[in-house]
Amino acid sequence: MTALTINHALGSYPVHIEPGVLVLLRELLGAAVPNRRLVLIADETVARLYDEWTSGTPEARQLGARASDAGVRPSFTARLTFPAGEPSKTRETWQRLTDDLLAAHIGRDAAIVAIGGGVTGDLAGFVAATYLRGIPHIQVPTTLVAMVDAAVGGKVGVDTALGKNLVGAFHPPALVVADPLTLMSLPESEYRMGLAEAIKHGLIADREYFEWLGTNGRLIRSRQPATVTQLVRRSIEIKASIVTEDEREQGRRAILNAGHSVAHALEQVSAWQLAHGEAVAIGLVMECRIAEKLGVAEAGLAESVSAVLQRFGLPVGIPPRVSRTEVLGAMQQDKKNRDGSIRMALPRTIGAMHQQEGGWTVPVEPHVILAAMDQPGAHIST
C-alpha cells in the first residue's frame, strides 16, 4: 500500500487513498501516533454508520469490510459526538467538546481521530489545535468534499455569525485515511457536493484533469471505485502541491479559494440552507463571470465551467430567495480582503489562475460583483 506524503514546515504526514483502507485504521494509527490514547470525534450520524460498518455484518462486508474486522476497530478512550450539519461548527460546540475532554481527564498523551465530513474535520481539528495548546489529530474523511479538500492542508476552524471559518488555526494532521468505499453510503446530493471541489481543482491547476472529469461523468456519477479513487488522488495531489508551497496562505494557496468568496457568502446568507458544494458550484461560475468582466479571463470561461458543473447536476445560478445585496455584504468579511476592499482569486483560463505583480488575488469593485450576479442566467428558478 502506497501513500502520498504532504510536507509542511511543521513536518510531513501520509495520505492513504485506497478502497477498503479503513479496515487498516488501527494499524495505520499505531504507526502514525504510537502509544497514544485515542479519542473519536464524529457527528451523530457518522458515529452510528461507523459502528455499523465495523460490525462484520454482511451489509458492512459489501462496503469492503471483512468478517474478521468485527471487534478489531481502534480502541477509543473516549467517543464524542455532536449533531450533524454546518450549524454545529461553532465556538459553542468547540467549547462543549473541549470541556468533555477535560472532564474525561484526557491529557497530552492523546490524539483525536476525526471521522466524517468537512464539518467534523474542521471542528475536531480545531479542538486538537487548541486543547492543551495542541495535540495530534488524524483525519478520516468519509464524504467526497472532505476527501478532496477539507481533510488535506491543515486548515481547521469554526464559523461565526459574521462568516465562515473566521476563527481557526493551521494544524496539519498526523495522518489522513481516505477510503472511497465510504462514499457508497452518501446520499446522491451529498456526493455531488464534492464534485464541485474536484472541478475547482481542475479549473485552477490542471486542464487535463478538468477535461477528464467532463469525459468520465458516467463512471464518476455511478461511483465506480477505481475512477473515484483516481479522482480523489488527483485532487489531493493538486491541493498538496499548492499547500506544500504555501502552508499559511501567504501567497499561491489563495487560489484554492477560487469560487469561495461568493460561496461562503451564499452559505451564510442562506442560513446554511445552501450546501457548501452547491455554493461552490455557483461561486465558480460567478467568479469566472467577474474575471471575464475585469478582462482577466478569456471570454466563454464561465460558460465552459457551467457546462461541466451542470453535467454533474450542480447548480450554476443564485437561488432567487437569496438577496444579492446581502451576498455582497457578507463578502465584506472574507479572509482574503485587504484595506477594506473585496479581493478574489480569479481564473485566467481552465488550468491557470490570474497572477498580478506576484500576488494571487485582485481587488474587485462591488458594482462588478453585482453586475455578475445580475447577468442573465445568474439566477435560477425553484
Catalytic residue of the set 36, 253, 343, 354: 253
| Catalytic one of 89, 200, 239, 354 | 239
CA distance 171 to 156: 7
The active-site residue out of 237, 249, 287, 292 is: 249
Which of these is catalytic: 260, 289, 343, 354?
Answer: 260
Identify whether the C-beta of residue 77 lies closer than 8 Å to the C-beta of residue 106. yes
Tell me how many degrees the CA angle 51-52-56 measures, rounded to the nearest 5.
105
The single residue of 201, 276, 289, 343 carrying the catalytic annotation is: 276
The catalytically annotated residue of 89, 155, 201, 234 is: 155
The 8 Å CB, 24+ separation contacts for 252-255 are 252/360, 254/336, 254/345, 254/360, 254/361, 255/204, 255/205, 255/345, 255/353, 255/360
Give catalytic status of residue 264 as yes or no. yes
Q: Which of 197, 237, 267, 278 is catalytic?
A: 197
**Of the residues 264, 289, 343, 354, which is catalytic?**
264
Q: List the catalytic residue out of 35, 105, 133, 188.
A: 133
Say how far apart CA 258 and CA 70 lie, in whole Å. Answer: 43
Asked about 249 being catalytic, the answer comes back as yes
What are the cell numbers at 133?
495548546
239 is catalytic: yes
Asked if 252 and 235 touch (Cβ cutoff 8 Å), the reply is no
Terminal-residue alpha carbon distance, the chain: 46
Catalytic residue among 164, 200, 237, 257: 257
253 a catalytic residue: yes
- Residue carrying the nine cell digits 451523530: 44
Residue 276 is among the residues annotated as catalytic for this protein: yes
Residue 164 bears catalytic tag? no
**Is 197 marked active-site?**
yes
Catalytic residues: 133, 155, 197, 239, 249, 253, 257, 260, 264, 276
